[in-house]
Structure 1
Amino acid sequence: MLLNDFMNDNFPNLELRPALFYSWSIGIRFELGVDYDRDNDYENSPYIQEVYKRAITLFKSLHAHNDDMYIVVDVNDHADGYKHKSKTYPRYIKEKSVLYGLNQKTIPYIFPDDDDGEGTYKTHRFTLKCKTSDFKYIPMLKAICNNDMGIKPSIFNRVYFININRKTIFHVYDDRGCDLLATTPETIRGVYDKYNDWILDYDRNEIDEIFK
């Protein structure tokens, strides 16, 4: 099954773009970074260690070893000589042969309001179908969390983990938090119950309504 077909069947009319939580009726927004201040911007600070712990714990609770999934990476092209490659995958895929299944297509810029007005910006969407066990998700999640902290290694591009078996979408938007979407509340009720303390308080009332 292709990504577009999967999305149309399970998440119709949902655009893969931030902020996912506000674009779908069933989801949870978790807080990853707590009590940030500028003194936390260094490798292995207590702040970033807690961010890593939450992101990795949530990922593990949602993705079994042999689950089929899509890893989607969006690379934004501001018409400044971008070459159509993504360096994100090779660093984190265990077996290079898996990369033969990597697909790329160019889509309209996912932040149209930020375009230069002439429609010259584009988004290059890379999609890899694989299993959870095919990639090094722990260093990949850490690199995503590192980006806004100025810590290396980091992943600047947006990454979406789409679980084909469980029909969920997991997106760490930065060190502050992550969005989890599902097709039914029951699919993610266990995560809602177990990690309730990590739910972002700003959206808690709306999230609680979903699971009543």
Structure 2
Amino acid sequence: MTFDKFINDYFPNLIVRPPLLYNWNTGIRFELGDPHLYDLDVSHYMEQVYSRTTELFRALFMKDDDIFIVTNAIFAYRYKYQVKKLKLYSRYIRNKQVLKNLKLTIIPDIYAEDDEEPNEENNTYRYIINCKVSDVDNLSLLKAICNQDVGIKPSIHHDVFFININKGLIFHIYDDRGCDVISSSILQLKDIYIKFNEWILDYDREEIKKIFEGKH
């Protein structure tokens, strides 16, 4: 299945960009790190962030699941032939054979508001790779994404989306503070809604509760 077909089948009209939670009708936003802990001890805070991220990922993705890893990168204005493959893929992909399937498309200013004219200098370079979960060093990749705003290396500053083809869901860590997961089916997320309920971000808790408990 191609990425475009997957989106059309499971998430029609969705633009794959943050914030996923506010762009789709079935999703959860989890808090990865307690901000009060950050003020007390950054290292303990990041341990919590890594731990929660890992638990959530393992609950959503099995080793044999088919996935897309989609990366939205912005390099200012460059022609396609001037953009090299991201180190993200060479560094974190265990099975180097799947790198042959890496796709790159250029999208005009995907982060522009609906009433704004796209700016060519903000072109988004979208990298897509189709592989198995087991083909990727996922834990190292997840940590690097979480590190983006806290001055810890290695770090990744692009938007990286993990898409589970088998389960019809998308997982995105927006930074060390939290992550979104959306699905085409409430049933796919019901178990993690129950199991990790305490981690749901309080700011969005009531709206998320309405989705899963039907209290409108």
**How would you bin the TM-score normalised by the shorter chain?**
over 0.9
Q: 1:45-89 CA deviation, whole Å, 9 max, x = no partner?
A: 000000000011000000011000100011112127863421111
Q: Would the aligned equivalents of 1:145 and 1:175 in 2 still touch at CA under 8 Å? A: yes
Q: Note if 1:5 corresponds to 2:5.
A: yes
Alignment of 1:37-116 (within 5 A): 37=38, 40-41=41-42, 45-79=43-77, 83-113=83-113
Q: 1:145-197 CA deviation, whole Å, 9 max, x = no partner?
A: 00100100001111000000000000011000000001111111000000000
Q: Would the aligned equivalents of 1:21 and 1:179 in 2 still touch at CA under 8 Å? A: yes
Letter in 2 for 1:170: F
1-side partners of 2:177 and 2:53: how far apart?
A: 10
2-side partners of 1:37 and 1:132: how far apart?
A: 31
Larger displacement relative to structure 2 (174-183 or 87-96):
87-96
Q: 1:117-143 CA deviation, whole Å, 9 max, x = no partner?
A: 753321000000001100000000000
Letter in 2 for 1:63: F
Q: Would the aligned equivalents of 2:109 and 2:118 in 1 still touch at CA under 8 Å? A: no
* 1:27 equivalent in structure 2: 27
Letter in 2 for 1:97: Q
Q: Structure 1: which 5+ residue stretches go unaligned?
A: none
* 1:160 equivalent in structure 2: 161
2-side partners of 1:180 and 1:25: how far apart?
A: 11
1-side partners of 2:119 and 2:6: how far apart?
A: 32
Aligned length: 208
Change beyond 3 A, Cα 1:4–1:117 = closer
- What is the RMSD of the two structures over their aligned residues, measured on CA atoms? 1.8
Q: What displacement does 1:116 show?
A: 9.5
2-side partners of 1:118 and 1:163: how far apart?
A: 31
Q: Would the aligned equivalents of 1:92 and 1:140 in 2 still touch at CA under 8 Å? A: yes
* 1:187 equivalent in structure 2: 188
Q: Would the aligned equivalents of 2:63 and 2:132 in 1 still touch at CA under 8 Å? A: yes
2-side partners of 1:83 and 1:62: how far apart?
A: 32
* 1:211 equivalent in structure 2: 212
* 1:174 equivalent in structure 2: 175
Q: TM-score, normalised by structure 1?
A: 0.93
1-side partners of 2:54 and 2:38: how far apart?
A: 22
2-side partners of 1:154 and 1:40: how far apart?
A: 20
2-side partners of 1:118 and 1:177: how far apart?
A: 29
Q: Would the aligned equivalents of 2:77 and 2:120 in 1 still touch at CA under 8 Å? A: no
1-side partners of 2:72 and 2:109: how far apart?
A: 10
SS state at 1:79 partner: coil
State the identity as a percent: 45
2-side partners of 1:19 and 1:36: how far apart?
A: 24
Q: TM-score, normalised by structure 2?
A: 0.91
1-side partners of 2:47 and 2:119: how far apart?
A: 42
Letter in 2 for 1:206: E
Q: What displacement does 1:108 show?
A: 1.3
